[in-house]
Every structure is written in C-alpha cells, then in structure tokens.
C-alpha cells in the first residue's frame, strides 16, 4: 500500500492511500497424460512460488495496514471496512475531542466507459482527509496542477472534499452530455420513422439514465450527510454552495431526461395502438367486401343437381358481374360513411397525424370564431333597443310618440 501525505497552508492534511492489488494466479489447461509426469514437478514448483509471492504481499499489506491503524487509530474500523468494499456506504460519526466525522465509500465512474466504476473510499473530519483508491487515476486527476491552487485556498478539509466532488462530477457532466446526444438521435429517429426495434433503443436509453441515477444518489447522500455532520460551518463555504448548485442542476437534468424518455415510451405505445386499430379496421373492411363472393360461392358450391340458372350459358359471367356490383356498392357505401380506414385511402402515418392535427386546429379555430361571434351578437343585442315584433305593437308605439 502506498501512503502519501499532503499538508496545506491552512493546516489540514490529505492522506492518499493506494491499495495494493494482489496478483492473480495464472490458470492453464490441464496437461495431457503423456506430459503429465513431465510437467508435474514444474507445476508444483510454480504453484509454490505463486503462493509464496501472494503470502509475502499479504503479509506486507497486513503490516502496512497495522501501521496505518497505529498512525490513525480513529480510522481503524474504516480501514478494515475499505478492504474489498465495492458498494456505496455513507456514515456520520463522532471522532475524539468531540469532532464530527464523515466516512464511507462512493462508486464513481472514472472514464466514459460505464463498466469502469471504481470505489472512492474517504474519511473526513475538520482538519484531516483520508482517501483510499484501487488505482491512481482518480487521485492523479485530483492532484493535477490546475486544481492545486483550489486546495491551497481551502480553510478546512470538508471544503476541499467538496471541491474534489466537483472535479469528479465533471466526468458525470460529460457522460450526461453524451447521453443527451444519444437521446436526441433517438427522438429524431422516432420522428422520421417508427420501427418495431425502436422500443428496444428507448429502453436502452432508460437503462443508461438509471446507471447515472445510481451514481448520483450516493453523492446527494454525501451532501446531506455533510450538512448533518458539519452544520453551518460548512454550508456557508463557497465550495459547498457551488457543489449544491451543481447537484441541483444535475438533479434537474435527470428528471428532465426521465420525463423525455417516458414521453417517448407513451408516444411509441400510442402509435402502435393507432396502427393496430387501423390494421384491424382495414382487415374488417376486406372481410365485409368479400362477404358476397363468399356467400354466393358457398351456395353454388353445394352438391345439388337442381340449381337455378345452372344450365344457362352466361350464368357464371352473370354471377361474377353481380358479385362485382355488390362489392363495389358496399365499398362506395362504406367510403361515404367514412369507415374505409386510412390504409385503404393510401395515407401514410405522417399524413394521418398531420391531417388530424390540422383538422383539430381547424375545429378549435371554428369553435373560437363561433364563440366570439356569439359574444359579439349578444353585445349588439344588449346595446340596441328592442324592436316591436308585431304590427299592433308598432302602432301603439307610434301613437305614444305622437
């Protein structure tokens, strides 16, 4: 385990701990019977060497862990818990001399690869910050030259810790930007064409959003736990206020993206239902149109000798003509009723949606126009004097005027 201590002008310390990775034992296929005796001794010696190396590394790790526990006795339980932990965990406790402490583990995505999630173990009090890592990519990013001045200006370790969270959230913002790009492409594809596999892409974006939400929730919990631990001494600090606004912005983005995905799912479901209803309507129309031919064919196909018009020369042609006329008549009647469906009319889904939207807007405009006309006529009627409706009333009114 590598231990590096950084001391800053305000007096607080940052201890960077890197966990030692154990070497994995090389797994090889079993030798054949012919080579079994030849390689038995070599394989046994190799296994002994690997076990000796692992035992040596384990002993060194235990020795260094004991040294850390002796150096930081208040962090002993945290050091033991960090061994092999790969789940989120945040706790608030009391350190010696009545100091509040915040410790736990955050699972963070280090790169753009969603599978590249590493644990970020931390232990925090007013004047000390300990972080433990499996690899050095994250601490090297935090210790870059562009962030050194930010840590030098921090008065306490909690203030620096939230600056670190702000730096870590830059990867979060980059991931959300990529997610927004993919979501925009999905919306454009849905607007242009609605395929059957589109719902799979929508759910894939939904799973991406769940991935970012699962990474965001522990950071929000750390924010709340820090308020509980350090109270007003931390909430008035600029770095804490900045991370608060950043978390609110990310929370708003996640809610907005979730609403967009739910809207896409609803739209896909509505379009599928519309197409299914239209297809069923069209199939029903075809069934009705071919009903006369089915009935007549069934009657003429029975095994009777005495059938009407069986011996006539043009009976079959006349039957076809009657079927065609009845079918055409039924189609015209259904078309005038408006029951032929949009598929038989040759309209595409885009034209159907556009025409439905325009007809809806036209009806709404007509209703608004009619309501305005009715209100205007009512106002005119209220302002104009009432007129006599009958001849006798007009005569009485003229005599009164005289």
Phi/psi at 133 (5° precision) = -135, 155
Phi/psi at 379 (5° precision) = -65, -40
Count of other CB atoms within 10 angstroms of residue 97: 8
- pLDDT score, position 335: 80
- pLDDT score, position 190: 75
- pLDDT score, position 129: 92
**Over the stretch 58-81, which tens digit does the pLDDT of each residue have?**
777 777 778 888 888 888 888 888
- Nearest CA-CA partner of 233 in 153, 129, 159: 159
Rounded CA-CA distance 187/181 in Å is 10
Give the confidence band of 347 by pLDDT, cuts at 50, 70, 90. low
CB 17 within 8 A of CB 28: no
Among the ranges given (131-145, 278-292, 356-370), the one the predictor scored with the smallest mean pLDDT: 356-370
Burial letters 4-35, b for 16+ CB under 10 A, else e: eeeebeeebebbbbbbeeeeeeeeeeeeeeee
Q: Which two tokens stand for residue 99?
A: 């100091």
Sheet holding 99-109, edge to edge: 2-7, 13-18, 128-133, 117-124, 99-109, 89-95
Point out which residues pair with 15 in neighbouring strands: 5, 130
- pLDDT score, position 131: 92
Among the ranges given (31-45, 103-117, 214-228, 320-334), the one the predictor scored with the smallest mean pLDDT: 31-45
- The yes-or-no verdict on residue 242 having pLDDT over 70 is yes
The two beta strands, 99-109 and 89-95, are: antiparallel
- pLDDT score, position 278: 76
Rounded CA-CA distance 247/228 in Å is 17
Rounded CA-CA distance 400/173 in Å is 87
CB 12 within 8 A of CB 128: yes
- The yes-or-no verdict on residue 56 having pLDDT over 80 is no
Q: Which residue in this structure is represented by tokens 């308020």?
A: 227
CB 207 within 8 A of CB 261: no
Phi/psi at 20 (5° precision) = -80, 135
Give the confidence band of 99 by pLDDT, cuts at 50, 70, 90. confident
CB 121 within 8 A of CB 79: no
**Over the stretch 128-182, which tens digit does the pLDDT of each residue have?**
999 988 888 888 888 888 888 889 999 889 999 999 998 888 888 888 888 888 8
Share of the chain above pLDDT 90, in %: 6
CB 15 within 8 A of CB 5: yes
Give me the mean pLDDT over the 373-394 stretch: 49
**Over the stretch 35-50, which tens digit does the pLDDT of each residue have?**
555 556 666 777 777 7
Rounded CA-CA distance 312/318 in Å is 10
- Nearest CA-CA partner of 205 in 129, 152, 149, 258: 258
**Which among 90-99, 200-209, 337-346 has the top mean pLDDT?**
200-209
- Nearest CA-CA partner of 164 in 211, 121, 209: 121
The shares of helix, strand and coil residues in the chain, as percent rounded to the nearest 5, are 70, 10, 20
Rounded CA-CA distance 139/267 in Å is 45
- The yes-or-no verdict on residue 109 having pLDDT over 80 is yes
- pLDDT score, position 373: 59
Rounded CA-CA distance 177/105 in Å is 26
- pLDDT score, position 233: 76
- The yes-or-no verdict on residue 332 having pLDDT over 60 is yes
Q: Which residues contact 363 (CB under 8 A, 6 or more apart)?
A: none
Count of other CB atoms within 10 angstroms of residue 355: 12
Q: Is the dihedral of CA 31, 34, 40, 42 positive or negative?
A: negative
Give me the mean pLDDT over the 14-41 stretch: 60
């Amino acid at each position: 385990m590598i231990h590096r201590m950084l001391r800053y002008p305000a007096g607080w310390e940052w201890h960077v701990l890197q966990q030692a990775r154990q070497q994995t034992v090389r797994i090889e296929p079993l030798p054949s019977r012919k080579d079994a005796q030849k390689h038995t001794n070599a394989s046994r010696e190799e296994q002994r060497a690997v076990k000796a190396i692992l035992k040596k590394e384990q002993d060194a790790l235990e020795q260094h862990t004991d040294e850390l526990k002796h150096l930081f006795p208040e962090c002993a339980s945290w050091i033991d818990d960090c061994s092999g932990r790969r789940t989120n965990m945040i706790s608030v406790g009391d350190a010696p001399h009545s100091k509040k402490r915040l410790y736990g583990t955050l699972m963070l995505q280090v790169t753009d690869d969603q599978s590249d999630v590493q644990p970020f173990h931390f232990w925090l009090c007013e004047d000390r910050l300990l972080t433990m890592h499996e690899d050095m990519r994250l601490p090297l990013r935090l210790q870059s030259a562009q962030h050194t001045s930010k840590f030098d200006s921090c008065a306490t370790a909690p203030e620096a810790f939230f600056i670190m969270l702000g730096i870590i959230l830059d990867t979060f913002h980059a991931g959300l930007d990529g997610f927004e790009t993919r979501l925009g492409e999905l919306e454009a594809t849905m607007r242009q064409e609605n395929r059957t596999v589109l719902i799979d892409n929508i759910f894939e974006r939904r799973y991406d959003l769940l991935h970012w939400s699962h990474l965001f929730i522990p950071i929000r919990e750390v924010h709340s736990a820090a308020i509980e631990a350090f109270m007003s001494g931390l909430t008035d600090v600029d770095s804490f206020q900045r991370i608060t606004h950043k978390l609110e912005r990310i929370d708003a983005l996640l809610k907005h993206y979730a609403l967009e995905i739910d809207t896409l799912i609803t739209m896909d479901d509505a379009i599928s239902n519309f197409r299914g209803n239209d297809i069923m309507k069209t199939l029903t129309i075809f069934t009705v149109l071919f009903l006369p031919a089915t009935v007549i064919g069934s009657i003429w196909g029975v095994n009777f000798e005495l059938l009407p018009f069986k011996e006539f020369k043009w009976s079959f042609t006349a039957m076809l003509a009657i079927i065609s006329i009845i079918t055409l008549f039924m189609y015209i009647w259904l078309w005038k009723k408006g029951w032929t469906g949009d598929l038989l009319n040759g309209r595409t889904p885009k034209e159907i949606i556009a025409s439905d939207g325009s007809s809806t807007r036209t009806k709404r405009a007509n209703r608004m126009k009619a309501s305005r006309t009715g209100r205007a006529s009512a106002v005119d009627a209220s302002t104009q004097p009432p007129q006599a409706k009958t001849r006798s009333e007009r005569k009485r009114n003229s005599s009164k005027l005289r």
